Each structure stands twice: as structure tokens, then as C-alpha cells.
Structure 1
């Protein structure tokens, strides 16, 4: 995934510094179309690098002011709708705009930035180095510090490559990964590697410890008063109209990832009157055209846009071993193998457009939908130390959950739980979502609580911004025309299909799997599988991916990892071979951990690409 990389050191050996920076940068060069560069100041112990898409918002690194005493390395995007017009950011190059903001406002310029980003700003006049990220922490910065240096990177593997002491699993992070699917409270899976908190502005000055402060605190938003429903709606509609143009610019590079749900519908209803976007597309499954595909095609046609279906082909299963390895490597283990389709689809989407505008995070921000839950795995699989970490994870999850629902979604669920899918997509695409826009998130704190628990406000927005789009029913049957009775029956039917598909896939009870292979069950599958979902990993582990899963689970080193209870691990392997029980959760996490061990912890980090580091 494109990002920043570097370290600040007291070691005067510039030759060693250049070699380390090259090794770190190599780990982030995943695709031949990436562009990259370095900027070093050996006399300041400062070694910086970056990787970006060729079409990135800022592709002018390093950004240097006219006086030559301020140098900015920036990754990500600043989507400034206040100064947006059809020709860009007030006619300035984006990099110039950012460095001018810093010269005008100092560190306070970070409060003006809107988007997912991270960067380093070297101020030679002040003899300081500023490391920063976006207020949510969605653009990740991993770091490791010791007595001699402070290393940071947008990908953990860059640090793992040059700091061998970090190449072991952090026990507490492992417990969190096993129970909630991600690490919490800025921990990572790796020993002594942490995450820069969202909204950080860490300043390094010569011969002193870094000043670790945050330029943004969610409490600023939480202290806003709740307003009445009608006033809130007026502000929400105004905000959507004002912020959306920046997300659709430039139109010829934008692909809109359409679904049958509410959030991409709101984007299309309020889209700016610009030229046609490069593409509208939807990811398709292997069983049938799902509701997302059917409805998205109708939405695109109504908006006068061409719609593309990106199908999951047989090559996905044929190349699954390679794709799974890539998924774990690209995301630093943040996305388990049940997200392997994300890299596959994103590669194909890039052929249509380099920028993906998505409705992701709308349900979390606007409607407080939450899939972030503590689910304890079978203790029999693990040793006593890991069982203790499962208890610690429960306590940590309780702590982070006791916050305002919008804070939970924007500052915890999205940057932690949902990060893996985003990281996989960002390895191929520039991804944007208007639902994490600073102004929109801030406004949601003022919503009456009942509005944040329902879909009425979303349906009303669509209806008033584009009545013609409101006539198209959603994937769950909301909206559209017809009597109330018919609408309720339609919604009930779609909901039954949705739940049936979930229970037959991830939610199937163990006792029911004994009937998984009879002819009647296989015929029943055809009635609902693929109506709502495109990923069906329980079925794929049973069928197309059976051999791959068996080979990984049966591998000698995999069964002897110190965190496992070998006896019960062998029982899990046996259950998979006999196709008994629903073990998709345990299997996906254990196979992912094994791939983490092989590539990120035990890999030799032999350089695959030669990077030249100039002075």
C-alpha cells in the first residue's frame, strides 16, 4: 500500500542509514506501476521515503517551499471542498497548497486537512521534524523506537525488515486478533511495533525526546449540542451537496463502486453535475447475479452511466494460494484469508479507473451499524498464555466500546476493524469515501440519537436529492413504489434470503453441517446462495479450497506453533478433512497466522528490487 517510510537516528553513519532506508522501501514496492523516492538529511539523522500511485493526489514529493527550508513528504489526499472548483485547488498544485498552509498556520494547518493522509514535514528554520497523520488514523503509520532511532512506515513489514527484534507475535495483540479480528488501542500483532494514534503531531528536535501530542481530540466533537431533527436534516443535506464534488474529481479517473444499498445511492443522488465518471462497477460472485449487481445496473442506467460487472472467475480459486499470501503480506496480516477476494477485485477495478469512490462506512457513521464484536474462540485450541490474552482482549474491547457511537465508528471501528479491507484495496487503487469527511463526521454528533439508529434519514435524502433514484428498491427491499403491504412483504422476503444465506455460510450451526452433503441440501443451496453475498468461504473451504486449507493446516511447523494446543489443533485438522462442523472462523484465523509466520516473521526479507537512495 502506498505511504511513507523512514527513520530518525542519532547514528552518524550515512551509509548504513541509506542501506536501511532502501531495505524498508523495498518492502513497500508491491506493483510495477508504483512510483517512489527518497529524501535524506544525514546531518539531521533524517532518512525519508515514499511510495505512491502514479495518479496520486500529491505526486510531487518532496514538496519544498521557495526558501528551501521547509520540506514536506505527503501521502494520501486532502479533499478540500471549500476551495474546490472544476479546475482543482484554486489553480495551485496540491503540494504547493499544503506547504503554503503550513507557512501560514504552522502545525495548526493539520486541522484544515480533510481526508486520509500521513506525512513528514522538516522545518530547517526551526530544526524540527514533524510526523503526522489524519485525525481518524485511517492512513496508518507504524512505529518502533529504541535508544538509537525512531523508525516509522505505513506498512509494518518495512520496520520488520530492519528491526529483527520485532519479528515475534505480541501476545496481547494476538489475543485481540483472535477475538475481535484486529488489534486494539494502537497495538499491533508485532512485538514493540505500535500505531501512531489518529490526529497525531509528533515533533522531533535535535538531542531531545519527541514531543508526542495530538492535534485533534474526538472530545471536541462530542461536546457539540444535539439539535432538532429538522435542523439536523437541513444541515446534512447541505453538507452532502457541498462535500461530494471533491470526491468525484477528476471525473475521468473516478470509478464508482456501486451496490444495492443506501450509501452508494446517496452518493449518486447527490453527485455533482460534472462529466461522466470513468466507470460504475459492482463486484460479482460465482453463483448468480446478486441483488447488488442487479440494482447497481439499474442505478447506473438511470444516471446515464455505463455499468460494469467485475466477476469472480475460476482463476480466483486456481490462484488462491498466491492471492492469500499477497493479502497477508500487503495488509501486514490485518486482513485474514476470508478477505482474499479484495485484492483480486481491486486489481480488476484498476483496469477501469485508478480512483474508487465507495459507500463504505456510511452505515457505520450515519446509522451506527456495528459488526465489531468480541467473539471468543474455543480455548481448547490455545495454550494458557493465549487464554489469558483472550480475557485481556475482552477488557480492552469493553473499554473502547464505552464511548460515543460516532467516536466508536470513526476513531475505532473504521481505522481498526475495517482497515484490512481498505489496505488491500489501496494496494491497487486510490480509495475515497465521503462518509469519513471531517465535516460530515462532526455533524453526526449533533444528530438526535433516534436518527442515527434508523434508515429514514438516508431514504429521505435520496428521495429529495433524486426522486427517480428513490423509485429503485434497495437490496433489502426498502424504497421504491407500491403499497405499504407489498413493501413489507418484499422486505420480509429479502430479509429471509439474507439470513438464510448467512446461516448457511458463516453462521451454520455445527450440528447442521452433517446434512451439508446430501442431495437435498445441495438443491436448497441454489435457492438463496449468492442472492446477497459474493463471498462464501465456508462453502469454499469445503469445496474449491479444501485441498489448500488441508495443506496449510497439515504443515509440520503450523501444528507446532507455541501458541497452539497441538492435540486440539489436530482435532480441528481432522474435522476439516471429514467436513464436520463449522470451523471457518478458527480455520481462517489460524491459516492467516501461519501465513504471517511464514512471510512477515520468518521471511528473510531478501531485497527483490534495487532502490537507489541519493543524498
Structure 2
């Protein structure tokens, strides 16, 4: 795991500033604390920071091909690199290292842009092809590794994190107003946008070619192929399906255990992480205890958020060497400036902070960690999927529901039932766009006014419609899974996972998101995903006899954070200081009185914790990244 960056001047005779490349590289040192390397030629500069995991002695980057006409910088891991290297050696290539990085470069020489089709893993890389005078960059299929870029008038720049791009004087530190309004809806900025004007992320499963004329090609090379509704694989016997799933998961875990450094598991005590621990323990063999890591909370009001009891049950069941950390409200508050610095842009997912602290604990013992992320997204683990399917059955089963729903909602006792009735009248495309996200349309109107709220609503609709249209043929459930794989998964879940672990120099690997396992899950019938009122039916069934009953029967809990009681209790002065003080950012971007109203409502007992956290994160980000006098509230 590493960090990469680079600049291509469109006039190749114009030298790249070597000092600038070094500054860009060194601001990413937390991602790669072990080594750094540079390639500087007229018109081209590449930088690399290394976290040593494989080929510790000779895997330094940048790496060249045999005649030094091509050079690569790479972030990630390719798990099938040994198999590819054997194939490439048979084709005549000679290797100077045992690294996956060199394997990618030789694969590019033989297969060109289609080299990405042969890679199994997580990656973001850039290859400068001096012979063709072009830069080839690519990002893994699901977005596990980040890659950002800025296309200027006379140069192109890329980096693993936006902060490296901001070292370039020509890159503006300007808020993109449309991104801000989308952020208020989703609590993160959907790609390819970022919160910075004219700075973009390369989308998952995409590649790009840049030459002297600018961005010449940008296209997808992979997508999740869902079958048409009713055409899912229902013929495969259940036992055979379970065995195939179990084998795919075991192989995925085995590949992700390839490392020359200590390895462990993030353990919540939920089904997903315990399944990973079970597989890893079986693969490691008797006498070798897996190291596991869990987080809880310290202080009043945190009891419902603590998962340590179940994590201990799982750790004991597999004889793991278990480690725990209890997070305090004071630590949560103190980390906010560091949080936004590591994220580079606002992301109002409060679980980022416990994820950082558990990563910090793990890094004291290991360098690589396995995690259960992705199971909910490929096997429909979230309760929202079941709720949306129920609403869809109501919509299709009650003729004229769209006409009578508004009247029934007005007559309904309570807002919750009223919203449920209104949602039942909407097609899935409209309903799923706004569910369980930001302050809602009415809340946004009070913060940013009617015009901006309507414009943002239409932009959000366009984003979701573009993805729903690609799977118009699929079942309702698979439509939701596809949209989440394109928006929520890369822009929230995997983004925070990468940034919070790499902030500690820890490499995270996610076996459930092996692309072969994702493709297998896409073709499963709905009954293999949702059964008996629970999601992840196939995973649950395949783990019977392997996991403790308490884990198998435990309801889905997510990554809980005691945000509401903390913002109303020990963090109340912090909330008022950030959101209600005269120096806060909101006067430039939204109605300050609307912000104060949210604070007062939360203090009065109405839960506005998600809205407040969304605003706190934005205010802290704006303070660091757009105000030069206040930049860096902490010492890196």
C-alpha cells in the first residue's frame, strides 16, 4: 500500500518542478512511511511513497520496464501477480523484482489498456509510456484505492489524495457550490465530483489516457452485470450454491493473506467480520493465533453503541489474540481537525473516527488488516433493502396508490406513518434517492434557499437516474444494490476505509469485494440474499456450524457511534462553538439562522445529530482547506 502522484506538462519541453513533485509526495508520507521515490524527466514527474508489504527488499518505486521506456507508480495490491508474472516470463519478460508493481508494467507492455482486465485486487496506478508519449492511469473495479486529478490549461496532475494536488499553486482552493449542496443531501460528495472546484476523482472501474493534447480517453473497463428480473440463477441446487460461495470466499481470504508483514482482522462481532476471522483462522492453521481488533465507547449514553461483548464471543471462539480500545467523547472531539485533513473533503460519516482509532490500535501490532466491508452491499444486508421491497409491493399491489397516498398521509397519526404512505406511492428510483440520507428537501430549503435546494434535487435525481437506467432490466433489489455499488460504496464506505487506515500506515483488505465474488453474488436469486426477514441469507446459511450461534442470530447493527447523546451532552459546547460562533463558515454558504435552529432543536430533544455532524465536518473542512490563515489546525 502506498501513495502516488504526478504531473504531465502538455509541452513536454517544459521541465516539471522537481521540488514540487517532492512536496506533493511528502504530504502523502502517512500513506507510505517506509520509503519514497521519484521519476523526473522533461515534461513529466512522478512521485511515490511506500508502505512495504510484499518484496520488502527490492520493491522500491518507480519501477521501469527492461529498456526503461516505461515507468510505473502504483498504490494497492494485485493478489494474482505471481500467476501473471509466470505468464509474462513465459512470454519473454525478465523481472528485476518480485513485486506486483513490475507485473502490472509488463502486463501493460503486452496487453495495453486491457491489462487491467487481468488484475485481481485493489489498485490505482500511473504508467508513463515514453515511447508513445502518453500517461496511462487506472483505478480498481470497485474503488478501494482512490485517485484524484486536475486538468489545467497546460498540465495534468494526479494524486492518491487531494492534498497533494493542492501543493500545486495553479490548483484553486475553491468550494464547488453544487458539490456542497449534494453533500448536504448525501453527507458525502458523489464522484466524479469533489468539494473542490475542477478537482475530480477517477471513477471506479475506469481508465484514462492523457497525452500532450490533454485527456484523450476516459472510459469504464468493467461493470457489475446483473441479470434481467426473473432470470437470476435459480436452477443451481442450494447446497451447490453454498459450497461455491464458501469456496470463493475462502479463496478471496487466502489471496488477501499474502503478505510479508504481520496481519490481523477488524472484529465487530457481527456476521461479516466473524466470517472473515473464521476463514482466516482455518487458512492459517493450528497454533497460529489471529490478531483481532475491536472498539467500544467510554462514558454515559454509549451503552447501546458498544459491540465489545459480541467481539469477545467471536474472538474466544477462534482463540484470537484480541485487542480492544474504548473511545471517549473528548478524543472524538479532538480528532475532528485531523479527520478532515485526512479525508481532504467533507464526509459526515461519524464512524470515520472510531475507524481511525481502531486502525491506530491495530498498527501497533500489524501492518495489514482484513475487514468485513462489502458483504452488506453484495448480499443485501441492510434493512433499507427489505423496507424498500415492502414499499414496492404496496405500490404495485394497491391500484391508484399514487393518487390517494397524499390524502392518507395527511390523515395518518404521526409523521413516520405519513412518510411511509407517501413513499409507497413513489417508484423505486424516486424513493431510493432520498431515503435515510441528509436533512431532506425541506431541511435543505431552510439552509440554502429554494433555488439551490431545487437545483440540487435535480442534480441528485440525474445522478441516481443515470445509474438506475443502466439496470432498468434488473429486479428492484438488484437495482438498489447496483446504485449503492456506484455511489455509497466508493464515495463513503471505501473512501473512509482507505483514508482512516492509511492515516495510520495500515493496509486494509476487503475479501467480500473480490470482483469474482461480486460477480457471483450479482447472479444470485433474491432468496439467497433475503430470507426469513434477514439479509445476507447465503452467508448466514454457509456459516452455520462454523460461527457461534450468538453471532449467527445477532441482528445487523452497522458501525454504531453514540453521536446523538454526545452532541447533546459532553460535546454540546463544541457544537455551539463550531456552528453558532460569529467566525463559523456558514455565513458564506448557507443561512446561519437555520443552522442555529438545528442546534436548538437537538438540545431540546429532537434528534438532529446527523444534520449537525454534517455541518460540523463541513465547517472544520472549510476552516482548514479554504482559509490560508487557518490552514492546518494541527501539526501533521
Using the size of structure 1 for normalisation, the TM-score is 0.79
- Provide the residue aligned with 1:55 in structure 2: 53
CA-to-aligned-CA distance 1:213-244 (integer Å, 9 cap, x gap): 33523165658963234254343223123222
- Provide the residue aligned with 2:537 in structure 1: 456
Gaps in structure 1 of 5+ consecutive residues: 479-493, 499-531, 609-615
- Provide the residue aligned with 2:393 in structure 1: none
1:20-169 counterparts in 2 under 5 A?
Answer: 20-30=20-30, 33=33, 35-42=35-42, 45-55=43-53, 59-80=59-80, 83=83, 92-163=98-169, 166-169=172-175
Q: Give 1:120 shift.
A: 0.8
- Provide the residue aligned with 2:608 in structure 1: 583
Q: Distance in 1 between matches of 2:82 and 2:52?
A: 26
- Provide the residue aligned with 1:513 in structure 2: none
Q: Report if aligned partners of 2:369, 2:508 keep a CA contact under 8 Å in 1.
A: yes
1:592 aligns to 2:597 (yes or no): no
Q: 1:273 to 1:116 in 2, by over 3 A?
A: closer
Q: Distance in 1 between matches of 2:349 and 2:536?
A: 32
1:439 aligns to 2:516 (yes or no): yes
Q: Report if aligned partners of 2:292, 2:320 keep a CA contact under 8 Å in 1.
A: yes
CA-to-aligned-CA distance 1:79-118 (integer Å, 9 cap, x gap): 2288499xxx999333333333233323222111122211
Q: Distance in 2 between matches of 1:247 and 1:99?
A: 21
Q: Distance in 1 between matches of 2:137 and 2:323?
A: 40
Q: Report if aligned partners of 2:209, 2:216 keep a CA contact under 8 Å in 1.
A: yes
Q: Distance in 2 between matches of 1:413 and 1:585?
A: 16
- Provide the residue aligned with 2:402 in structure 1: none
CA-to-aligned-CA distance 1:235-292 (integer Å, 9 cap, x gap): 3223123222111233861111112222123223333532535511211222459774
- Provide the residue aligned with 2:379 in structure 1: 366
Residues 158-167 or 421-430, more deviating: 158-167
Q: Distance in 2 between matches of 1:252 and 1:50?
A: 20
CA-to-aligned-CA distance 1:474-515 (integer Å, 9 cap, x gap): 27x35xxxxxxxxxxxxxxx68xx7xxxxxxxxxxxxxxxxx
Q: 2:196 aligns with which of 187, 190, 194?
A: 190
1:242 aligns to 2:242 (yes or no): no
- Provide the residue aligned with 1:264 in structure 2: 273
Aligned length: 544
Q: 2:578 aligns with which of 546, 552, 559?
A: 552
Q: Distance in 1 between matches of 2:307 and 2:277?
A: 15
1:273 aligns to 2:283 (yes or no): yes
Q: Report if aligned partners of 1:459, 1:470 keep a CA contact under 8 Å in 2.
A: no
Q: 1:278 to 1:452 in 2, by over 3 A?
A: closer
Q: Distance in 2 between matches of 1:2 and 1:582?
A: 40
- Provide the residue aligned with 1:528 in structure 2: none
Q: Give 1:311 shift.
A: 2.2
Gaps in structure 2 of 5+ consecutive residues: 90-94, 385-434, 472-478
- Provide the residue aligned with 1:536 in structure 2: 562
Q: 1:255 aligns with which of 228, 250, 264?
A: 264
Q: Report if aligned partners of 1:337, 1:592 keep a CA contact under 8 Å in 2.
A: no
Q: Distance in 2 between matches of 1:278 and 1:120?
A: 35
Q: Report if aligned partners of 1:56, 1:430 keep a CA contact under 8 Å in 2.
A: no
Q: Report if aligned partners of 2:295, 2:354 keep a CA contact under 8 Å in 1.
A: no
Q: Report if aligned partners of 1:3, 1:52 keep a CA contact under 8 Å in 2.
A: yes
Q: Distance in 1 between matches of 2:228 and 2:629?
A: 50
Q: 2:314 aligns with which of 299, 312, 316?
A: 299
1:561 aligns to 2:576 (yes or no): no
- Provide the residue aligned with 1:282 in structure 2: 294
Q: Report if aligned partners of 2:172, 2:197 keep a CA contact under 8 Å in 1.
A: yes
